[in-house]
Amino acid sequence: MKKYTLTTLISLTLLAGCSGDGGTPKFDNVSVHDPSVIKVNNTYYVFGSHLASAKSKDLLSWKQISSGVADGNVLIPNVTEELSQTLSWAQSDTLWAPDVIQLADGKFYMYYNACRGDSPLSAMGIAVADKIEGPYKDQGIILKSGMAGVGNDGEIYDATVKPNVVDPDVFFDKDGKLWMVYGSYSGGIFIMELDAATGFPLPDQGYGKKLLGANHARIEGPYMLYSPETDYYYLFLSYGGLDTKGGYNIRVARSKNPDGPFEDSEGKAMIDAKGTADKLFDDPAYSPYGVKLMGNFKFINSSTENAVSEVGYLSPGHNSAYYDAKKEEYYLIFHTRFPNRGEEHEVRVHQMFMNKDGWPVVAPHRYSGEKIGTYTAAEVAGAYKYVNHGKDITANTVQSELIQLSGDGKISGAVTGTWTINGEHNAELTIDGTVYSGVFLQEWNEAVEAQVMTFSALSAEGIAIWGSHVSSAAESK
């Protein structure tokens, strides 16, 4: 197999070319941990932990609305009194990841929650507002967990099998039924049906139905997205710990029904994704489950590109997702930390696409308004920074390696194989004997300040690979 030097690969990329269009996108960043999205009229809102929120018209430029659980927060101006029962039960002075949905009465229902943190002592309730930006008025607690004694289901509370009542996502299924999926670590991820008129749980459900998890598996942040394109419900999850060393990563499973059963791309039942009894945070037990879409990564710029140090994410996770039916576009909204920036975090939005097997693949670079197009083999060929996200839960950061997609359909460099473009933009790459299916997409790369060709694809084993074209724009500056 012929080996290529870095200089040769970059030269081949320049020959291949990658024409761009449009100007430089304008990004304004905000910090909202665990962003949950809702679109009202022409504005996207995200609500997150610590009563933080932000809004955007275009998913690029965000404006902070609120932050901090203190009186004076515009969402709940007298929050310490209004939610005093919740904060007292959870022995907490802050709130965790909420969700907001609009019901048939036109009002906005915020599913708030608080947790002690070092135990599942948590409470979840509902607050209602006439306007999306508040003020929200408490309607009461709907679930509690972590108690010594009988829980909401009438049984003795056991944290290894019962849920921690945090991280709600409330959604309508395709038939108009209202559901809430929730949970973090502890006994797993649960779902229950809600009254579509009041937003409260229907009676006699206890904690609802378990979808996956147990024995304190590090799985949390569930979010449900229905795709009319595939007729599947996609359950997004975050595995690992949320700090820079926690190995947070985004995964997904799917089902034809909102309440499961859910499976991953290998057909493994997600109900079996759980920890090991008497062993805390046994990551290897559940890391094989779920399609891993994104983990720690860093794109390494070539010597011809801008010298930057933060071209990647650390512990991306706790996502929400949105499907724009008019545009037929999918968006993944999440928070992430960054190399060399400590525990600072910001909201990021990436576009998603369904591959030929009906699984979402995530664009390698943040959303800049790009639309997927029709590409030729000549536009696709060239040198790429290649990332394989793997399947493990790890604090290690995958650094990109250089590969070449040559005009004759071969892949060389750090990995070897073949590639092809099918139809307008569908990608199939066979690397070291494994087939990956996804898309080619031209998008904006902030690090090189240029449009570049990319690819995003998944294997049947649920492993994501990304590629980002080595930019020729830097050569012409």
Catalytic residue IDs: 34, 220
The structure tokens listed for 373 are: 């197009």
User: Of 204, 177, 176, 209, which is closest to residue 192 (Cα–Cα)?
Assistant: 209
Q: Tell me the C-alpha distance between 442 and 200, whole Å.
A: 44
Q: Which segments within 355-409 are labelled E, that is strand? A: 360-362, 382-388, 398-399, 401-405
Region at 413 (left for phi over 0; alpha for psi -120 to 50; beta for the rest): left
> Do 183 and 177 form a contact (C-beta atoms < 8 A)?
no
Q: Identify the bridge partners of residue 329 per DSSP, sorted by sequence position.
A: 324
3 state SS of 320: strand
SS3 of 380, please? helix
437-468 burial, b for 16+ CB within 10 Å, e for fewer?
bbbbbbbbbbbbebbbbbbbbbbeebbbbbbb
CB 244 within 8 A of CB 298: no
SS3 content of the chain, % helix, strand, coil (to 5): 10, 45, 50
What values do phi and psi take at 59, rounded to 5? 70, 10
CB 55 within 8 A of CB 35: no
